[in-house]
Each structure stands twice: as structure tokens, then as C-alpha cells.
Amino acid sequence: MHEWLQQHRDEGILLLQDLVRIPSTQGNEREAQLLVAKRLHRMKLEVDLWEPDGKTLEAHPFFYSPRSGFEGSPNVVGLLRGTGGGRSIILNGHIDIVPEGDRKAWWHDPYSGKVEDGKLYGRGATDMKGGNTALLLAIQAIQELGIRLKGDVIFQSVVEEESGGAGTLATILRGYQADAALIPEPTNMRIFPKQQGSMWFRIEIKGRSAHGGTRYEGVSAIEKSMLVVQHIRELEDKRNARITDPLYATNPIPIPINLGVIQGGNWPSSVPDSVKLEGRMGVAPEESLVQAKEEMARWLERLQERDSWFKEHPPVLEWFGARWVPGSVDPGHELMRVVTEHYRAVRSEEPVIEASPWGTDGGLLTLLGETPCIIFGPGLTQLAHYPNEHIVLDHLFEAAEIIALTLIEWCGIDESEEEIADGAEAEAIQPGESH
């Protein structure tokens, strides 16, 4: 396996470059998806390419997207059908990327795919076309080495992860399910059996307008918003004090409540009568979105104990925009054991196992799709969504190797006589083998 990947290193880099050079932002995924579909077809997988139906999705309680039409944004699934009797697995990666942002902050063209010092640069290199490339290489290696798996491998290249997971939701509603799933989001080679969910909220804080020269006649929504910021900090403390999961041992704020936007008032000489706060509430892996929402709402009601102004003028809480359901897989799950073992073998070190500080489509797969999903991938978490995003190419190939070996052990090898002739080298490969 290691050898095959070494031999196909240039081909793998070219594939990632091809993907990075297509700016597959929301609504512009078709070209990249056709490239993926073509490759799956060449690898002899059964290809399913379809544009999700916005109407069906919209009616689903787990749907969130700023759009309701998916013309030009197809999902692609490639099925490597097993010979039977093995465990199936979903390998899921999103093709959509966030926009490049300020081009001047990039050293190279954000869609160059330039390789320098063992790193490949470009928007999406880390989040997560690098991970997708690792998946494709792993499957291709298995195919070309003539290994016949017993269980199905369901490769999914989905749209819309960055905007709330409608692409993965569409695969679930189309009936895709497996015994387990793996998403190679950029964890920097850490393994995440659990992941934080998150939701966006908006709080409007009210004041009473007056001329700034007689500001004592008004009530400043800016001053009142300070109390709300403080109050939310205390809720964050309270929620995090409950988190005892050792997977969060090194995380100072396992489920943060981030206040990302503040906006209020419109005239320097007026007392502002409204301030809006927008933020992201982290949701614990074992918590439900509904529980978290209720806790926030109840907590805000207690603002009136802090300041009687809030009794007559309660802040208005609203949940809007993106949300990601949390996910939790028992760290003792069999897939965890398999990935961990091959990680050790390939990298000659203990893997870091943590709970993720952000959500992925894995929450949907685990919770709704009934397919326990873990997250493990190459790519540098802290570069996602930032200028000069890049991936360390060695990590990509190491991840591909770990994943290929995982597939072999998880799905099982069919070593029955009649088929062996198809894959000349297959007998030489055993699960867990690596260099």
C-alpha cells in the first residue's frame, strides 16, 4: 500500500491541483463534481450523480441552507460494491469551498494549487479537497492492487457542507447508509469520535432613544448589551463546567459561546435604542440542539434579575442561519480501534484523540443517517477559511494509507479463489500492513 502510494504520488498531487483549480464555491460545484464523477467511473465504481431536490429538502427538519434550489450543485456518490459478508462504510467529503476572501492577503493565486516546500496551496487544499483526494487515492489503491472487499465502500462527494449540510442530508434522504462512516475533514491528523454541534443566534437588546446631549433621558442599548455579553459569558462558564469528557481535557472551552457580531445605533449624537448581537453557540456531542436552545432562552430570561430594565424590555432571541448537529461515537467503537491501530502503524506514534471544537456533516450521518461517523483527516485546522490555506502533502498520503488499510480491515478481504485472478497483487496485502 505504502509503495503504491509512493508510486502514485505525482498523480495524487495532480488530482488535488485539478480540484483546487476549480473554485467550487456554493452554487458553482458542478465542474468539480463532474471531474470527481469521471474519476469514480474510471475507477469502476457505480456512479450516482444528482441535483438535490430543494422542495424535499426544505420540508425536512434538519434542513438548513440559505438557498432552496440546487441546480448546478450535484452530489456525487461512487459505490464500490463489496462481494458480500463485510461491513460497509461511508467515506464522505464536501466539495464546496468558502470564498477566497481578500486576494491581497494571498501569497499566490488562491486557485493556483502551487506546490512549494512539500505543501500545496489554494482555497480548499485543506478544507477539504486534500481529504477527498486521500479518499480517492485509498480506493484507487485498493482497486489497482486487486483487493476485493467484502463490504461496500460508499464514497460521497457532497455539496453545501459550509452552509449547513444540505448535501449530506440529501444523501441520507436518498437512502445511503452504512455500518460506519469517516469524514477526512482537516483535523491535522487527530481522530475525533465526537464533535461539537453549533447554532447561530441573534439577540436584540433594546434601549430608549434620546439626544446625546441629554442622554440621561434615554437608555443606552450599548450599555445594556454589555450586561448581556457578561450574562452570556456566565452561561458559557456554567455549560462548560458540566463537560467532564476526557476527550475535552486539553480544551479550555469545550463548547464556547462565541459573540461574533455586534451592531447598534446609527448616529453618534443619539442614545442607541437597539443593539444586535450575533453569535455561535457550541452544542455538546451528547446534547441536542433543542436542549441547548432552551437553556439559552431560560438563561436570557434571568437577565431581569440582573437589571429590571429587562423585565419590561426582554432581549429578543432568534435562531438563524447555519447550524450543525453534534455527533458522538463511543471512543471504544470498532472503527475507532481500526483507525487508531493503522494510524500507529503508519505514523509510528500514538494518535491524538479528541472531541472536535466544530461541527461537520458527521453529526447528520451519526444522528439522522444512523451511521456512526468519526472524523480524521490531513489538513491544518487553523488554515481553513484563511488566506494561504495549504496542506502538507506527506500528511495527505499518510492519511490515504491509514484510510486504505482501515477499509481493508473494516470491510474485509474476499479471498475466494474464482476472483483472485483479477487482482494479481491482492494476496500480498494484509490489513494493518504498512511501512
Per rule CB under 8 A, is residue 357 in the interface with a copy of itself?
yes
Least separation in angstroms between CB 273 and a copy of itself: 10
The stretch among 10-18, 109-117, 354-362, 388-396 that binds a copy of itself (CB under 8 A) is 354-362
Among 42, 267, 297, 425, binds a copy of itself (CB under 8 A): 267
User: Quick check: 385 binds a copy of itself (CB under 8 A)?
Assistant: yes
Binding residue for a copy of itself, selected from 66, 84, 85, 212, defined by CB under 8 A: 212
Q: Is 96 a catalytic residue?
A: yes
Choice between 152 and 354, CB closer to a copy of itself: 354
CB of 263 to a copy of itself, least distance (A): 5
Catalytic status, residue 161: yes
Residue 278 near a copy of itself by CB under 8 A: yes
Task: Work out how close the CB of 197 gets to a copy of itself at its nearest, in angstroms, rounded to a whole number.
Answer: 10
Q: Tell me the three-class secondary structure of the chain, residue by residue.
A: CHHHHHHCHHHHHHHHHHHHCCCCECCCCHHHHHHHHHHHHHCCCEEEEECCCHHHHHCCCCCCCCCCCCCCCCEEEEEECCCCCCCCEEEEEECCECCCCCHHHCCCCCCCCCEECCEEECCCHHHHHHHHHHHHHHHHHHHHCCCCECCCEEEEEECCHHHCCHHHHHHHHCCCCCCEEEECCCCCCCEEEEECEEEEEEEEEECECCEHHHHHHCECHHHHHHHHHHHHHHHHHHHHHCCCCHHHCCCCCCCCEEEEEEEECCCCCECCCEEEEEEEEEECCCCCHHHHHHHHHHHHHCHHHHCCHHHHCCCEEEEEEEEECCEECCCCCHHHHHHHHHHHHHHCCCCCEEEECCCCCHHHHHHCCCCCEEEECCCCHHHCCCCCCEEEHHHHHHHHHHHHHHHHHHHCECCCHHHHCCCCCHHHCCCCCCC
Residue closer to a copy of itself (CB basis): 214 or 348 = 214
CB of 335 to a copy of itself, least distance (A): 23
Query: Within 221-240, which residues bind a copy of itself (CB under 8 A)?
Result: 222-223, 225-226, 229-230, 233
157 or 356: CB nearest a copy of itself: 356
Catalytic residue among 100, 127, 152, 161: 161
250 binds a copy of itself (CB under 8 A): no
Among 58, 81, 83, 358, binds a copy of itself (CB under 8 A): 358
Q: To the nearest whole angstrom, how small is the minimum distance from the Cβ of residue 201 to a copy of itself?
A: 8
Within 191-210, which residues bind a copy of itself (CB under 8 A)?
Answer: 196, 198, 200-201
Binding site for a copy of itself (CB under 8 A): 196, 198, 200-201, 211-217, 220, 222-223, 225-226, 229-230, 233, 251-253, 256, 258-272, 275, 277-280, 282, 321-322, 356-359, 382, 384-385
Q: Which residues are catalytic?
A: 96, 161
